[in-house]
Amino acid sequence: MRTIIEPFRIKVVEPIRMTSREERAALIRQAGYNPFRLKAEHVLIDLLTDSGTGAMSTHQWAGVMEGDESYAGARSFFRFEEAVRGIFGHTHVIPTHQGRASERLLCRAVVKAGDVIPGNTHFDTTRANIEDTGAEARDMVIPEGLDPDLDHPFKGNIDLADLERCIAEVGRERVPFVLITVTNNSGGGQPVSMANLRGTRAICERFHIPLLLDAARFAENAFFIKLREPGYADKSPREIACEMFALSDGAVMSMKKDAFGNIGGVISLNSDEWAEKIRTALILTEGFITYGGLAGRDLEALAIGIEEILDEEYLKYRIASTAYVGNHLAQAGVPLLKPIGGHAVYINGRRFCDHLTDDKFPGWALSVALYEHVGVRACEIGNVMFGTQDRATGAWNWPALDLVRLAIPRRVYTQSHMDYVVEGITELYQHRREIRGLRFVHRPAVLPHFTATFELV
């Protein structure tokens, strides 16, 4: 059999509400042409993010009932700790309420002004948390990773020569750690190879710098290694994941991704000194060290979810179903980032809207048009999210890629939902020259995409 089916059946359903094109045109205008500002109930198929939007399994829901809500030393914490440690292998497991809380706690504890954090491509909240300490987040993905048309199995790899040069240039005392994001979300959900992790490890060891992973999508990365890297075809996703983590000194993770959580995060570390500092800060803002801002039931659901995510049948379906959307769009001529990533399909906004200049935000304009046309919500990862303006001259600096991400929530939508998405985007592509550009009405200084408002130009 060649057909890959959803490896689950549906026990509970959540109705979605249809809207008309006229309704949607008014709604997106009222939202300041920012899809983040729409009410979710006005969205038909929500591909804004795969973060916290997954469907939990019957086992996870059963776990929710088992949650131990004790303030300190809850049974659910120990179950969580065991599940995370069983995969990550580090000494300290510190729960947090989500990925960015992990990042903030880590950065506050060990990063100082003037430091440089090298990485493949830092995720937006990671970059913001690094910069908030006065340090610099420096991206150095391999050049292939910046070419949207190039097919390469591991476009998330860090450029090892650049990494070495960077550390030599700024000095190891100003590099508190190296952070590799698996898979590389901002670079298109592209995986990092084991060989590249090993190479990074060797450089880090030579300079005595800890290597950390941003492990939000560690399981998808492990499965890509299985599919694409010689020598891994016969290993289980779990074995591969363990090998990835064994190369690291620690990890931060948003458990809203590859742990099937609706909320949750973790910091996993070998360093006693860092763990001590982080736990002290954790108590100030998140909660006691055995719950870190989560309920016992959340810890329980995450402990089960992080095991389920490594199921090979699930990962096979996950990667195949994302590729299904990408391949059908590519067949219709829609310009995409290649190859198709694990959690999302990325449309090349600049090329889709090649009649719009960068200052009219082609990717963002596409995401607005997509909502208006078929009620599908997607997320721009491009000019609005990463564009920066020179304070002195007012000149804009645009990111290498202006993408629109169709992020696929885990175990939520069926193939016919995806067929609808493909048809809608294909139709829009045929009328793409009618898509209008935008300009800012209000641009917040930090993470502008979440709350900015726009007008059509």
Ligand X SMILES: *Cc1c(COP(=O)(O)O)cnc(C)c1O
Q: Which residues inside 43-82 make contact with ligand X, applying CB under 6 A?
A: 51
Q: Annotate each residue in 303-342 with x if it binds ligand X (CB under 6 A) or - if it does not, as one string.
A: ----------------------------------------
Tell me the window of 95-103, 225-233, 304-312, 421-429 that interacts with ligand X (CB under 6 A).
95-103
Q: Is 121 in the site for ligand X (CB under 6 A)?
A: no
Backbone angles phi, psi at 135, to 5 degrees: -95, 175
Q: Which is nearer to ligand X, 106 or 368 (CB)?
A: 106
Catalytic, 147? Answer no
Q: Which of 38, 127, 45 is nearest to 451 (CA)?
A: 38
State how far the Cα of 332 lies from the Cα of 335, in Å rounded to an integer.
9
Place of tokens 């493949």: 120
Query: In this chain, which of 90, 256, 328, 449 binds ligand X, going by CB under 6 A?
Result: 256
Contacts of 22 (CB under 8 A, 6+ apart): none
State how far the Cα of 441 lies from the Cα of 438, in Å rounded to an integer.
9
> Least distance (Å) from ligand X to the CB of residue 329?
22
β 178-181/211-214 pair status: parallel
Q: Which is nearer to ligand X, 98 or 248 (CB)?
A: 98
Burial class (CB in 10 A: 0-12, 13-18, 19+), 276: exposed
Please list the residues that pair with 118 across neighbouring strands. Answer: 138
Tell me the window of 87-95, 120-128, 141-149, 222-230 that interacts with ligand X (CB under 6 A).
120-128
Reported in sequence order, the residue ranges of 140-186 that DSSP labels E, i.e. its strands, are: 178-181
Query: In this chain, which of 35, 54, 95, 99 binds ligand X, going by CB under 6 A?
Result: 99
> 33, 80, 88, 123: which one is catalytic?
123
CA angle 436, 439, 444 (to 5 degrees): 140
Place of tokens 């060891």: 205
Tell me the window of 119-127, 230-238, 401-409, 421-429 that interacts with ligand X (CB under 6 A).
119-127
Q: Which is nearer to ligand X, 344 or 376 (CB)?
A: 344
> Least distance (Å) from ligand X to the CB of residue 374?
25
Q: Is 380 in the site for ligand X (CB under 6 A)?
A: no
Catalytic, 214? Answer yes
Residue 7 in tokens: 């490896």
Burial class (CB in 10 A: 0-12, 13-18, 19+), 287: middle
- How does 130-149 read in b/e, with b if 16+ C-beta sit within 10 Å? bbebebbbbbbbbeebbebe
Catalytic, 123? Answer yes
State how far the Cα of 397 lies from the Cα of 389, in Å rounded to an integer.
6
Q: Is 98 in the site for ligand X (CB under 6 A)?
A: yes
Q: Is 362 in the site for ligand X (CB under 6 A)?
A: no
> 256, 343, 360, 449: which one is catalytic?
449
Catalytic, 449? Answer yes
Catalytic, 429? Answer no
> 124, 139, 298, 402: which one is catalytic?
124
Please list the residues that pair with 396 across neighbouring strands. Answer: 389
State how far the Cα of 36 lies from the Cα of 356, in Å rounded to an integer.
22
The size of the interface with ligand X (CB under 6 A), counted in residues, is 15
Q: Is 262 in the site for ligand X (CB under 6 A)?
A: no
Q: Is 96 in the site for ligand X (CB under 6 A)?
A: no
Tell me the window of 222-230, 249-257, 345-353, 367-375 that interacts with ligand X (CB under 6 A).
249-257
Tell me the window of 96-104, 137-145, 407-415, 442-450 that interacts with ligand X (CB under 6 A).
96-104
CA angle 342, 346, 350 (to 5 degrees): 160
Q: Is 123 in the site for ligand X (CB under 6 A)?
A: yes
State how far the Cα of 286 lies from the Cα of 52, in Å rounded to an integer.
18
Task: Provide the 8-state DSSP code for 50.
Answer: S
Q: Is 126 in the site for ligand X (CB under 6 A)?
A: yes
Q: Is 265 in the site for ligand X (CB under 6 A)?
A: yes
Residue ranges binding ligand X (CB under 6 A): 51, 98-100, 123, 125-126, 181, 185, 214, 216, 254, 256-257, 265
Q: What are the residue numbers of the active site?
A: 71, 123-124, 214, 216, 257, 449
